[in-house]
Structure 1
């Protein structure tokens, strides 16, 4: 497992402003970014579990546009090299958000090799500033420049391709993407199981960086999701483990969103395992529940459709944005930013959540 790289002090200071900035973010107009004003008072955050607390939320970007592009449909988040927040829309748009106000600074369109739109779901800002973007259409992982120029494409195992080319189900492929500490291992998570695998057992595919910046196929692992839930996001933490989001939806009830800590160590390489059954001696990725987000305080949030907790929505994106102080009750806590995908629908909200997570 690669050793974690320390975060520069300058980046930590930039990211430290993020949590405070969420409370200061204000609503935008339908035509573009608004001038920042005083934020309405919100209840103080509180514990979701012994390991996770929610600090605040922001609906500032809900149902807005920027330079003619809908601000929403967010499926992934990443921290850029300058501390800004890169936010990926699954409608082929990549936004840069101010880390303090969350207002858009820029947006670039993304396209495949033929110029067609992507169902873009996962995002990594690589160490050279280029963007790695996963799409669940084929599936694929492509590399883009900051201006949206397509630079290349990573190999994908045949079995992970959508049927009939492979054994995957459409819209159930590379939903999660993260770069492990050290920058040499890239990981993508399948949202759903392959045909022939037991439902709930999904594959995590890795790539290893060669002597240049290119990635070659690496190990693959099996991960068991909770019944009725899919794996929608993963974010590496400094010690090499993963924060994993599992999410599901039940009509008339709402969303289930759970945050897990996952450990790849000791898991079996499943790249040559034809079928994952859970009874085949394969050691799956170990996971530990950190919080069911339905147990978080609602903080005065409202929902546009039934939810077990009005704070919940269609949460899809996650990024580790920094760390808290090193003493007291917050010692060792990570700052984690979540975002929900509103699907440009009237019953869902583009909502950002600021969490503290203690491992």
Structure 2
């Protein structure tokens, strides 16, 4: 999503423009560490300010690994790109729209086992299922309270940002970015849907407390039911804050029947543990086009788990450049070892 405080090539060169750390294997464990749990392997600005088939490549809000191993990258301007998983070179792009042909504020993405795409839009908010060629197949139900005011209590540009499979693919989980009006504790709602024979039905809802001044742009589920949660904010003249948390909703209260989250309501929140603040990562030679606490930082918004190796989850992040000259489309390759 375009942060409320933010001011408003060719594919052949992609592999050559990928930015890799110059550190060798001998000192990688020290120079690449962001924290005891997270290290950054490399980053890439290969797609920054490029275009493909007449479509601007950027504004990325979500990532997912497709069934053929390629990378799906969702733009919040209603475009879904297929990227080469190694070079990031675009392979194709599909335009998305709602049932009336109107553009989406597309933010969250998962790919189902049959290849259909589930995509959130912040506008209503909504979760729609799309075919691989971009046709709307159906639409999931959304609780009234989570709808944007005046239909509900959500703030504009503060609804479904993150989307992930949950409980081994038996459920779907979407994260609100900001708190509902009346939820004075500042906790945000995580809504889930369970699979049914006909599709998906509303299920449990949880409350998650972001750090002060931050929202939740993305969430990804681990096989054991825990979540990786991104928290993000922006301060003009200072730059972005981006933190990665390990969260555990397994013993949290179902808040679907709780009208207002006040902090005095006896609700058990989703437990969270800080894995790293991205500002603590080594710069790896990155440069920033505007002030940042660390030049590696930008408006990081998308996240997916691409695999597992050497006891660590391979996690890929991407920043949303908002098609803005002072922001960068940047991919971040992390290794994450959450404690048990």
2:142 aligns with: 156
2:255 aligns with: 270
Deviation at 1:47, TM superposition (A): 0.4
1:18 aligns with: none
2:22 aligns with: 43
Equivalent residues in 2 for 1:292-331 (5 A)?
A: 292-325=277-310
CA separation of 1:35/1:313 partners in 2, compared to 1, >3 Å: closer, same or farther? closer
Q: Is 1:256 paired with 2:241?
A: yes
Q: Tell me if the contact between 2:185 and 2:263 (Cα under 8 Å) persists in the aligned partners.
A: no
For residue 279 of structure 2, give the secondary structure of its aligned residue in structure 1: helix
Deviation at 1:238, TM superposition (A): 1.8
2:324 aligns with: 345
Deviation at 1:41, TM superposition (A): 5.6
Deviation at 1:43, TM superposition (A): 2.5
- Count of aligned pairs: 322
1:356 to 301, 324, 335: 335
For residue 106 of structure 1, give the secondary structure of its aligned residue in structure 2: strand
1:73 to 30, 46, 59: 59
1:328 aligns with: none
1:115 to 87, 101, 118: 101
Deviation at 1:239, TM superposition (A): 1.3
User: Which ranges of 4 or more aligned residues in structure 1 deviate by more than 4 Å?
Assistant: 35-41
Equivalent residues in 2 for 1:42-191 (5 A)?
A: 42-44=21-23, 46-191=32-177
Q: Tell me if the contact between 1:228 and 1:248 (Cα under 8 Å) persists in the aligned partners.
A: yes
1:224 to 194, 197, 209: 209
Q: Tell me if the contact between 1:200 and 1:226 (Cα under 8 Å) persists in the aligned partners.
A: no
**Unpaired segments of 5 or more residues in structure 2?**
1-8
CA separation of 1:298/1:128 partners in 2, compared to 1, >3 Å: closer, same or farther? same
**Unpaired segments of 5 or more residues in structure 1?**
1-28, 326-331
Q: Tell me if the contact between 2:244 and 2:277 (Cα under 8 Å) persists in the aligned partners.
A: yes
Q: Which digits, 9 at most, give the CA deviation of each residue in 1:75-103, with x for residues without a partner? A: 00001011110000000000000011101
1:26 aligns with: none
Q: Tell me if the contact between 1:59 and 1:349 (Cα under 8 Å) persists in the aligned partners.
A: yes
1:242 to 221, 224, 227: 227
Deviation at 1:198, TM superposition (A): 1.6
Q: Which digits, 9 at most, give the CA deviation of each residue in 1:84-137, with x for residues without a partner? A: 100000000000000111010000000001100000000000111100000000
Deviation at 1:35, TM superposition (A): 4.8
CA separation of 1:278/1:93 partners in 2, compared to 1, >3 Å: closer, same or farther? same
Partner Cα distance (1:133, 1:41) in 2: 31
Q: Which digits, 9 at most, give the CA deviation of each residue in 1:34-88, with x for residues without a partner? A: 2556456633360000000000000000000000000000000001011110000
RMSD: 1.2
Greater displacement, 222-231 / 195-204:
195-204
Deviation at 1:279, TM superposition (A): 1.4
Q: Tell me if the contact between 1:139 and 1:160 (Cα under 8 Å) persists in the aligned partners.
A: yes
Deviation at 1:311, TM superposition (A): 0.1
Q: Tell me if the contact between 2:172 and 2:192 (Cα under 8 Å) persists in the aligned partners.
A: yes
Deviation at 1:265, TM superposition (A): 0.9
Q: Tell me if the contact between 1:85 and 1:98 (Cα under 8 Å) persists in the aligned partners.
A: yes
CA separation of 1:254/1:33 partners in 2, compared to 1, >3 Å: closer, same or farther? same
With normalisation by structure 2, the TM-score equals 0.93
